Amino acid sequence: MQKSDIDKQIEVIKRGVVEIISEEELKAKLEGSIREKRPLRVKAGFDPTAPDIHLGHTVLLRKLRQFQDLGHKVIFLIGDFTARIGDPSGRQETRKQLTKEEVLANAATYKRQVSKILDVDKIQVTFNSEWFDKMSVLDILKLTTHATVAQMLARSDFKKRLSKGEDISLLEFMYPLLQGYDSVKLEADIELGGTDQIFNLLVGRDIQRDFGQAQQVIITMPLLEGTDGVQKMSKSYANFIAINENPNEMFGKIMSISDEMMLKYYTLLTDEDLEAIKKMHPKEAKVKLAQELIGQYHSKKDAEKTRLEFERVFSQGELPQDIPEYKTDGKQSITTILLNSRLVKSGNEARRLIKQGAVSLDNSKVRQENFVPIKGGVLKVGSRRFLKIIV
């Protein structure tokens, strides 16, 4: 028996998802979409808390692209208002508050980056400050009538923090309500989110019902762990791989992930045949993964060039061809050079790397943080960062 158009769409939509609430509602919405010749409104929100979109974000973005290819309307919601609060989902502490200027600066880079995955000419880009900035204090407070304190404290991340005696601000209680109200304003048929977003997504369904709207279908996607293999990929945890970062850095980071994690990356970030990947040698499979992702977000030429460079430097022990240069007067300490060249983010990081023996000059380990390289040379930090010191 041939599959109907709806069955084909559901098969595509279900690929790689964790949960759909509910599949029956999804089928009904798809039937209505075909009957009324109206594309479904598919919403995903992104808070611009950092300027870079990383591979963790692309799990959702790739699913959005599938909805685009099925003919539906993708709404790319930039939470420029909610980013100033900070989503508490999965957090063990209160997020740092961002200024409006910081949020807008981060948001400015988003559309250009998502164009590598989505057809940006067909998406609806919306900022939730469009409605929240116009609401009065009374309007905002009225939103609190759509949830109870007991409901909020029932969510797992709040429950954990409460049991440990950790602070939970009332501002954080507001976040799920604001995200839910986004769905009301956008009249979302479907909302996508990570598995850590399930509470917020369900609040959106409740608020839509309270406002007399049809409830959105919820689709949750797996969380992608970062390069540490433990925490979800996040700028906050410094374990992310940004889609616009230097191809050499990107290649090295992908090669650093574990063999087990590599298969999850293939599953969530590519369309490769997993059975064929499992038959490959882990190192070869990882190189292929790095090439595939760099090809997606940079170019095939960059991917091939980076692979050859990686083999030269790491397999044959040679130096990279293009090493950045740093000029010094012969009086600066190695810690100062590391900081000024931006090879490290802080003096503490520089001291830690030196103590761990991860810093070397012309293949000799640097042991003292106040060491002064009076003759220059090639500085190596870790396995991927190089700097040519010129006195």
Domain ranges of the chain: 5-221, 247-315, 325-390
80/329 Cα distance (integer angstroms): 45
Q: Which residue has the higher pLDDT, 103 or 223?
A: 223
> Is the pLDDT higher at 8 or at 1?
8
pLDDT in tens, 264-288: 999 899 988 889 999 989 889 999 9
Per-residue pLDDT band for 186 (boundaries 50, 70, 90) equals very high
What pLDDT does 61 receive?
Answer: 93
pLDDT greater than 60 at residue 314: yes
CB atoms within 10 A of CB 296: 18
> CA–CA separation, 50 vs 12, rounded Å?
31
Q: What are the tokens at 150? A: 């007991």
* Residue 299: other Cβ atoms inside 10 A: 12
How many other CB atoms are found less than 10 A from the CB of residue 234? 19
Length of the chain in terms of residues written = 391
Instruction: Please tell me the predicted confidence (pLDDT) of residue 321.
Output: 62
Query: The domain 325-390 belongs to what CATH superfamily?
Result: RNA-binding S4 domain (3.10.290.10)
- The radius of gyration computed from the CA coordinates of the chain, to the nearest angstrom, equals 24
**What is residue 311's DSSP assignment?**
I
- Identify which has the larger pLDDT, 156 or 16: 16
**CB 338: neighbour CB atoms within 10 A?**
28
CA 134, CA 136: separation in Å to the nearest integer?
7
Q: How confident is residue 320, by pLDDT bands cut at 50, 70 and 90?
A: low
* Residue 316 pLDDT exceeds 60: no
Q: pTM to 2 decimals?
A: 0.75
Mean pLDDT of 1-17: 81
Q: Among 28-42, 149-163, 294-308, which stretch is predicted with the lowest mean pLDDT?
A: 149-163
Residue 283 and residue 260 in contact, taking contact as beta carbons nearer than 8 Å:
no
Q: Is the peptide bond before 156 cis (omega within 30 degrees of 0)?
A: no
Sheet with 364-365, edge to edge strand ranges? 325-327, 385-390, 377-381, 359-361, 364-365
CB neighbours of 194 closer than 8 A, spacing ≥ 6?
59, 60, 89, 220, 221, 222, 223, 232
When pLDDT is averaged across residues 334-341 and rounded to a whole number, the result is 85
Encode pLDDT of 52-106 as tens digits.
789 999 999 999 999 999 999 999 998 888 877 655 554 444 445 667 777 777 7
Task: Say whether 325-390 and 5-221 share the same fold.
Answer: no
Give backbone dihedrals phi and psi of 91, rounded to 5 degrees, phi first: -90, 145
CA–CA distance, 359 with 357 (Å, rounded to integer): 6
Q: Could you tell me the CATH superfamily of domain 5-221?
A: HUPs (3.40.50.620)
Model pLDDT, residue 1: 34
Give the Cα separation of 372 and 184 in Å (integer).
Answer: 61
Give the pLDDT confidence score for residue 341 in this predicted structure. Answer: 82
Of 26-40, 195-209, 213-227, 325-339, the range with the lowest mean pLDDT is 325-339
Greater model confidence, 28 or 237: 28
Beta bridge partners of 327: 390
**Top-confidence residue, 3 or 153:** 153
Q: What is the mean pLDDT of residues 156-174?
A: 81
Q: Which 3 state secondary structure label does DSSP give 53?
A: coil
Check: CB of residue 60 under 8 Å from CB of residue 44.
yes
Predicted pLDDT at 381: 81
- The pLDDT value recorded for residue 220 is 95
Please check whether residue 386 is in contact with residue 312, taking contact to mean a CB–CB distance below 8 angstroms.
no
The Cα 254–Cα 262 span in angstroms is 8
Q: Does residue 3 surpass a pLDDT of 70?
A: no
Strands 19-21 and 217-221, bridge-based pairing: antiparallel
Q: What is the mean pLDDT of the chain?
A: 85
**CB-based contact 369:331 (threshold 8 Å):** no
- pLDDT at position 63 is 94
- Average pLDDT of 357-374? 82
Long-range contacts of 305-314 (CB under 8 A, 24+ apart): 305/247, 306/247, 306/248, 306/250, 306/251, 307/251, 309/248, 309/251, 310/248, 310/251, 310/252, 310/255, 314/255, 314/383
What is the pLDDT averaged over residues 126-137?
91
Average pLDDT over residues 135-141: 92
Average pLDDT over residues 23-41: 94
pLDDT score of 389 more than 60: yes
Query: If you average pLDDT over residues 368-387, what whole number do you get?
Result: 79
288 contacts: CB under 8 Å, gap ≥ 6: 272, 277, 280
